[in-house]
């Protein structure tokens, strides 16, 4: 496990270890940030900030087994900060998608669904957005989301419940029970 090597490394070894870690996790981190923020430029900045925070906080990581959760928590916090800084400026341009779906039929229906999700998601709070992305994009469990976001499992379930209602998403019964 990469994290187990972290604590004792110094100097160049530490930089090399971090670089390897960053290289391995960069794409996934950027995709998660993009899913949360919906804006590639903001996602770039948030991802970069997360890696800077991880580099600065490297020595504070005491429990190597929590390495992934540790960085995941840093990432969602930088995304949350980005949303709060720019909550009125990050917009998703759906015009191209709408144009592509203007021909009618299934494409139009899909475009309408996505447009509806775009609009509803943009109205969600930062915490609700993060809960939805971690659950339905990263496939984390409720307990894992709780650990990553620093709130109780009950709060995660509550956030998911209200976010999904705001998005107009109906869940299957098994998924419904897992988020209740």
For another protein, the binding residues in 94-153 under the rule CB under 8 A are 113-114, 116-117, 127-128, 132-133, 136-137, 147, 150-152
- When binding is defined by CB under 8 A, the residue of 60, 96, 104, 177 that contacts another protein is 60
- Residue among 117, 151, 116 nearest 131 (CA): 151
- When binding is defined by CB under 8 A, the residue of 77, 111, 140, 142 that contacts another protein is 77
Give least dist CB 107 to another protein, A: 14
- When binding is defined by CB under 8 A, the residue of 2, 3, 81, 98 that contacts another protein is 81
Q: What angle do CA 31, 121, 38 make, to 5 degrees?
A: 30
Kindly determine how many residues on this chain lie close enough to bind another protein according to the rule CB under 8 A: 71
- List the interface residues with another protein, window 150-179 (CB under 8 A): 150-152, 154-155, 158-159, 161-162, 164, 167-172, 175
Give least dist CB 145 to another protein, A: 13
DSSP 70-107: HHHHHHHHHHHHHHHHSTTT-----HHHHHHTTT-HHH
Q: Which two tokens stand for residue 180?
A: 């209740």
Give least dist CB 155 to another protein, A: 5
Alpha-carbon gap, residue 128 to 166, rounded angstroms: 10
- What mask, x for binding another protein by CB under 8 A, covers residues 6 to 35? ----x---xx--xx--x---xx-xxxx-xx
Alpha-carbon gap, residue 180 to 165, rounded angstroms: 12
Residue with tokens 């229906």: 109
Give least dist CB 127 to another protein, A: 8
| 9: three-class secondary structure by DSSP | coil
Alpha-carbon gap, residue 146 to 6, rounded angstroms: 25
Alpha-carbon gap, residue 16 to 146, rounded angstroms: 31
- When binding is defined by CB under 8 A, the residue of 1, 8, 62, 104 that contacts another protein is 62
Give least dist CB 56 to another protein, A: 4
Give least dist CB 54 to another protein, A: 8
């Amino acid at each position: 496990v990469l994290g187990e090597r972290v604590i004792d490394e110094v100097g160049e070894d530490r930089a090399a270890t971090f670089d390897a870690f960053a290289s391995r996790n960069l794409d996934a981190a950027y995709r998660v940030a993009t899913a949360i923020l919906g804006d590639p430029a903001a996602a770039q900045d948030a991802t970069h900030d997360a890696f800077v925070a991880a580099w600065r906080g490297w020595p504070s990581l005491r429990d190597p087994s929590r390495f992934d959760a540790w960085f995941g928590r840093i990432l969602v916090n930088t995304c949350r900060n980005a949303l709060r800084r720019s909550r009125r400026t990050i917009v998703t341009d759906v015009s191209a998608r709408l144009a592509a779906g203007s021909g009618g039929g299934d494409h139009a229906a899909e475009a309408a669904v996505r447009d509806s999700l775009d609009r509803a998601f943009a109205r969600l709070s930062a915490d609700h957005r993060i809960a939805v992305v971690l659950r339905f994009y990263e496939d984390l469990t409720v307990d894992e989301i709780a650990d990553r976001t620093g709130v109780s499992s009950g709060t995660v379930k509550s956030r998911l419940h209200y976010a999904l209602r705001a998005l107009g998403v109906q869940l299957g019964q098994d998924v419904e029970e897992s988020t209740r």
